Protein backbone atom coordinates (compact mmCIF):
# COMPACT_ATOMS: atom_id res chain seq x y z
CA UNK A 1 0.00 0.00 0.00
CA UNK A 2 1.22 3.48 -0.76
CA UNK A 3 2.71 5.35 2.16
CA UNK A 4 0.19 8.17 1.78
CA UNK A 5 -2.73 5.73 2.07
CA UNK A 6 -1.16 4.00 5.05
CA UNK A 7 -0.98 7.38 6.76
CA UNK A 8 -4.64 8.12 5.99
CA UNK A 9 -5.65 4.81 7.57
CA UNK A 10 -3.39 5.39 10.55
CA UNK A 11 -4.85 8.87 11.10
CA UNK A 12 -8.37 7.47 10.84
CA UNK A 13 -7.68 4.66 13.32
CA UNK A 14 -6.31 7.13 15.87
CA UNK A 15 -9.97 7.97 16.43
CA UNK A 16 -11.14 4.37 16.70
CA UNK A 17 -12.28 4.61 20.34
CA UNK A 18 -14.58 7.58 19.72
CA UNK A 19 -15.80 6.07 16.46
CA UNK A 20 -16.41 2.75 18.19
CA UNK A 21 -18.66 4.34 20.79
CA UNK A 22 -20.54 6.27 18.12
CA UNK A 23 -21.05 3.16 16.01
CA UNK A 24 -22.43 1.28 19.01
CA UNK A 25 -24.98 4.06 19.61
CA UNK A 26 -26.02 4.10 15.95
CA UNK A 27 -26.38 0.33 15.78
CA UNK A 28 -28.45 0.28 18.95
CA UNK A 29 -30.65 3.03 17.51
CA UNK A 30 -31.03 1.09 14.23
CA UNK A 31 -31.60 -2.39 15.69
CA UNK A 32 -32.98 -1.56 19.12
CA UNK A 33 -30.27 -3.69 20.75
CA UNK A 34 -26.52 -3.99 20.78
CA UNK A 35 -25.57 -7.25 19.09
CA UNK A 36 -23.55 -9.56 21.34
CA UNK A 37 -20.79 -9.93 18.75
CA UNK A 38 -20.34 -6.16 18.60
CA UNK A 39 -19.88 -5.96 22.35
CA UNK A 40 -17.08 -8.50 22.19
CA UNK A 41 -15.50 -7.17 18.99
CA UNK A 42 -15.38 -3.67 20.47
CA UNK A 43 -12.48 -4.84 22.66
CA UNK A 44 -10.28 -4.25 19.61
CA UNK A 45 -11.53 -0.87 18.50
CA UNK A 46 -9.47 -0.58 15.32
CA UNK A 47 -10.75 -3.88 13.90
CA UNK A 48 -14.23 -3.17 15.23
CA UNK A 49 -14.45 0.21 13.51
CA UNK A 50 -13.25 -1.08 10.15
CA UNK A 51 -15.53 -4.12 10.25
CA UNK A 52 -18.70 -2.54 11.56
CA UNK A 53 -18.60 0.52 9.34
CA UNK A 54 -18.76 -1.86 6.39
CA UNK A 55 -21.52 -3.84 8.10
CA UNK A 56 -23.60 -0.73 8.76
CA UNK A 57 -23.22 0.49 5.19
CA UNK A 58 -24.09 -2.96 3.83
CA UNK A 59 -27.05 -3.39 6.18
CA UNK A 60 -28.55 -0.06 5.16
CA UNK A 61 -27.82 0.23 1.45
CA UNK A 62 -28.80 3.27 -0.56
CA UNK A 63 -31.15 1.39 -2.88
CA UNK A 64 -33.28 -0.58 -0.40
CA UNK A 65 -35.61 0.78 2.22
CA UNK A 66 -34.80 -0.17 5.82
CA UNK A 67 -37.86 -2.46 5.86
CA UNK A 68 -36.75 -4.34 2.75
CA UNK A 69 -33.16 -4.53 4.02
CA UNK A 70 -34.46 -6.10 7.24
CA UNK A 71 -36.56 -8.62 5.32
CA UNK A 72 -33.45 -9.58 3.35
CA UNK A 73 -31.55 -9.91 6.63
CA UNK A 74 -34.30 -12.19 7.95
CA UNK A 75 -34.03 -14.43 4.90
CA UNK A 76 -30.25 -14.59 5.22
CA UNK A 77 -30.38 -15.26 8.97
CA UNK A 78 -32.99 -17.97 8.49
CA UNK A 79 -30.92 -19.60 5.75
CA UNK A 80 -27.79 -19.46 7.89
CA UNK A 81 -29.58 -20.83 10.95
CA UNK A 82 -28.57 -17.73 12.92
CA UNK A 83 -31.33 -17.72 15.53
CA UNK A 84 -30.10 -14.72 17.52
CA UNK A 85 -29.69 -12.64 14.36
CA UNK A 86 -33.15 -13.75 13.29
CA UNK A 87 -34.67 -12.47 16.54
CA UNK A 88 -32.94 -9.10 16.19
CA UNK A 89 -33.88 -8.62 12.54
CA UNK A 90 -37.50 -9.74 13.01
CA UNK A 91 -37.91 -7.11 15.74
CA UNK A 92 -36.17 -4.48 13.63
CA UNK A 93 -38.27 -5.34 10.57
CA UNK A 94 -41.42 -4.85 12.63
CA UNK A 95 -40.06 -1.53 13.86
CA UNK A 96 -39.49 -0.56 10.22
CA UNK A 97 -43.10 -1.38 9.34
CA UNK A 98 -42.97 -5.01 8.18
CA UNK A 99 -46.11 -6.96 8.92
CA UNK A 100 -46.23 -10.45 10.38
CA UNK A 101 -47.36 -11.74 6.97
CA UNK A 102 -44.39 -10.11 5.21
CA UNK A 103 -42.00 -11.64 7.73
CA UNK A 104 -43.71 -15.02 7.42
CA UNK A 105 -43.47 -14.93 3.61
CA UNK A 106 -39.80 -13.95 3.85
CA UNK A 107 -39.07 -16.94 6.09
CA UNK A 108 -41.01 -19.24 3.75
CA UNK A 109 -38.98 -18.05 0.75
CA UNK A 110 -35.76 -18.66 2.70
CA UNK A 111 -37.01 -22.16 3.53
CA UNK A 112 -37.87 -22.80 -0.13
CA UNK A 113 -34.36 -21.92 -1.23
CA UNK A 114 -32.90 -24.08 1.53
CA UNK A 115 -35.07 -27.01 0.43
CA UNK A 116 -34.22 -26.62 -3.25
CA UNK A 117 -30.50 -26.43 -2.43
CA UNK A 118 -30.73 -29.79 -0.70
CA UNK A 119 -32.80 -31.32 -3.49
CA UNK A 120 -30.61 -29.95 -6.28
CA UNK A 121 -27.46 -31.40 -4.71
CA UNK A 122 -28.88 -34.70 -3.51
CA UNK A 123 -30.98 -35.54 -6.57
CA UNK A 124 -27.97 -35.06 -8.85
CA UNK A 125 -26.32 -37.91 -6.96
CA UNK A 126 -29.39 -40.17 -7.00
CA UNK A 127 -28.60 -43.31 -9.01
CA UNK A 128 -30.46 -43.84 -12.30
CA UNK A 129 -33.55 -46.04 -12.18
CA UNK A 130 -32.71 -49.71 -12.00
What CATH number is associated with residue 119? 1.20.1290.10
> pTM for the complete prediction?
0.87
Residues 51 and 91 in one domain: no
The per-residue b/e assignment along 92-130, b for 16 or more CB within 10 angstroms, e otherwise, is bbbebebeeebbeebbeebeeeeeeeeeeeeeeeeeeee
Residues 35 and 75 in one domain: no
Q: Report the length, in residues, of the chain.
A: 130
Distance between CA atoms of residues 12 and 74, nearest Å? 33
Number of domains in the chain: 2
CB 96 within 8 A of CB 67: yes
pLDDT tens digit sequence for 59-115? 999 999 999 999 999 999 999 999 999 999 999 999 999 999 999 999 999 999 999
Distance between CA atoms of residues 69 and 102, nearest Å? 13
Residues 93 and 122 in one domain: yes
- Residue range of the domain that includes 26: 1-59
Residues 26 and 81 in one domain: no
Residues 102 and 79 in one domain: yes
Q: pLDDT > 70: what percent of the chain?
A: 100
CA angle 21-85-66, nearest 5°? 75
Amino acid sequence: MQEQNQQIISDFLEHSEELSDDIMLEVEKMLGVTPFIFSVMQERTDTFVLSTLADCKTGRPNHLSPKIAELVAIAAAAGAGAENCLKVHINTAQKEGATRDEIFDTIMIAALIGKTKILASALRLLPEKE
